[in-house]
Amino acid sequence: MKTPTGLKKLNIKLTVILGFVLMLALIIIIAAMGYLALREAIRDATLYSALSRDTNLAHDIGNSMLILNGALDSYLANRDVQSVWDVDYRLALTRRMAKMAHKSNLNPEIRDILVRVDDILATFNQKFNQLTELDANLIQVQRTTPSNITEIKELSKQRQALQNLFQIAAIKVSHNVESARDAIKVQQESIDTRIQNSFRTTMLVAVLTVAAAIVIALVVALLFVRLITKPVGVLEQIVRRSPSIAFRFSAAPGRPVEYVSENVIEFGYSADDFYSGRVKLVDVLHPEDREIVATKLHDLTTAKSSDREFNQEYRIITGAGATCWLDERMWVVLNDKGDITHYEGIVIDITKRKLAEERLEREQARRVFVLETFGSYLSDEIVAEILESPGGINLGGELREIAILVSDLRGFTKITESMDSRKVLKILNRYLEVMTDIILRYSGTIDEFTGDGILVFFGAPRQFADHARRAVLCAIEMQKAMGLLNEDNVKLGLPELSMGIGINCGELVVGNIGSNKRKKYGAVGSPINVAFRVQTQTTGGDILVTAPVYERVSSDVVTGPVRKVELKGIEGLVTIHQVIGLSNT
């Protein structure tokens, strides 16, 4: 015969109640045992602490007696006032220790020992007073009647007897102190044994009680879950396990939420937050995306076609305040009359995908910019290094020390003013092609071609410790290349060219310069103006460098006479050096 469902539930309820009662009883038992064990432990700890203090006092009394015996020996040898003071002080201190231990100790056996010690010390004090009086009489007799041998011997005999009494008293004190230590040790061992036994018993009972409580709690929990839960449908199980979040909200004003799957907690909200109205759907939307989502929903609602579903991506603010990207797919639910009653849909977190896409876009934009900015002005190796560098380059601008090389063809305008423009470009392009190869070989950055002039940086964007040396070596090779270039020009029926080069170094701001429509990597600072002015002092074939450059390359180059010149726009005289060649050639 089957038990009715109502009776089964009643039995489960009774079992749950009984389990709660048993757990409560076990908790009370554990609490009572803990209280009794704690009270006993506090009592034993107090007694143990007192015994430890007594051990220290006994040790101090023993040490004080040793010092007292030393002071007494000093007095017996010297019979001076200082020794008397030392004995009195040590004796008073030792008696004070014994009395303190006597007052604080609760053990009758130890108290009796300390009383005996105090009595011995009192006798010691009395006999020492007799000794000092006897010594005073002996000194008086020895001074006034030194011939009275009989009286001197009698006094010396009494003095020796007192010394023997002192030795006996010291031995008695030592024996009593040792007896007190032994008694304390026995009591401490007894307390240790009692504490260990109590701890073992308490732990055993506690473990058994806790184990029983855990078993009862598990049984009660299982019964309670069985009592209050209802079977979960297959569809609900699928929704719970899905990474997507399903939702349904009404088309009524305020669009109240009727369902949201429990895994919405991943975004820091609970389903009850939406059911109760504490959180509205519009509240979780990112402020910048609210209008877009509202417009999309309005378009879906007013659409006259039969297609009532759509996809969109937008951002939300989680309960923790973070921003997440969602991919939403939504359907409109109509009644028999064709009116909208509900909106249903699912969303999935695509934040990781969005972040990866943004990183990819930034990286692609950076690579495009580097290629557009430096592809024609840097060697392929340096451009590849910038692209592969995790930090890339600082396009926002930074202060850096670099070397600036400025070259210009001497008299080029006059040479070419009567030539056909195509021939002029041919001459200029041949010259710039040769110079560009040399500059890139020394890792220079070509900032710009100014007609027949070239502006080059060494040390930006790629940083070099020897930027000044690279600039000078590059200039020397550029001047050597002019000879070969002119030989070819003669063969082609073109005019010979001569070039002057000025080099300076200093701190400049380097970075991305320009507007959103047009920008380039460049440098700003007065050292560039100085380099241009130095270049104007050159004649064909010259390489002129400023003092800061010369200081960095003086051991590598051979120079001509030093000149001090006035440069337009530069305050004061500027020292320039003519570089003739390398010192090892």
Partner residues linked to 408 by β-bridges: 500
Question: Which range has the top average pLDDT, 116-120, 123-127, 167-171, 268-272?
Answer: 268-272
- Helix, strand, coil % over all residues of the chain, rounded to 5: 60, 20, 20
Contacts (Cβ under 8 Å, ≥6 apart) of 412: 451, 452, 497
343 alpha-carbon distance from chain centroid: 48
> Looking at residue 353, what is its pLDDT?
87
User: For 365-392, how does the pLDDT look when each residue is reduced to its tens digit (9 = 90+)?
Assistant: 666 665 665 555 455 555 565 556 555 5
Counting DSSP H helices and E strands in the chain, the numbers are 15, 13
> Looking at residue 1, what is its pLDDT?
41
Question: Is residue 482 over pLDDT 80?
Answer: yes
User: For 88-136, how does the pLDDT look when each residue is reduced to its tens digit (9 = 90+)?
Assistant: 887 788 778 777 766 665 567 677 777 777 778 778 788 778 778 777 7
Alpha carbons 166 and 174: distance in angstroms, whole number: 12
Question: Is residue 22 over pLDDT 50?
Answer: yes
> Looking at residue 232, what is its pLDDT?
46
- Neighbour tally for 102: CB within 10 Å: 17
Show me where the domains of the chain are located. 5-225, 235-349, 353-392, 396-582
CATH architecture of 396-582: 2-Layer Sandwich (3.30)
> Looking at residue 474, what is its pLDDT?
97
Tokens representing 287 are 């402020």
Partner residues linked to 520 by β-bridges: 513
Q: When comparing pLDDT for 9 and 189, which is higher? A: 189
Q: When comparing pLDDT for 118 and 557, which is higher? A: 557
Alpha carbons 425 and 131: distance in angstroms, whole number: 129
User: Among 507, 541, 509, which Cα is nearest to 527's?
Assistant: 507
- Please answer whether residues 503 and 534 qualify as being in contact, where contact means their C-beta atoms are separated by less than 8 angstroms: yes
Q: Across residues 339-345, what is the average pLDDT? A: 81
- Neighbour tally for 561: CB within 10 Å: 6
5-225, CATH topology level = de novo design (two linked rop proteins) (1.20.1440)
Question: Is residue 541 over pLDDT 90?
Answer: yes
Domain 235-349 of CATH type 3.30.230.10: no
Predicted confidence band of residue 231 (pLDDT cuts 50, 70, 90): very low
> Looking at residue 407, what is its pLDDT?
96
Question: Which range has the top average pLDDT, 203-207, 235-239, 495-499?
Answer: 495-499
Alpha carbons 151 and 145: distance in angstroms, whole number: 9
Tokens representing 22 are 């048993």
Q: Across residues 331-349, what is the average pLDDT? A: 82
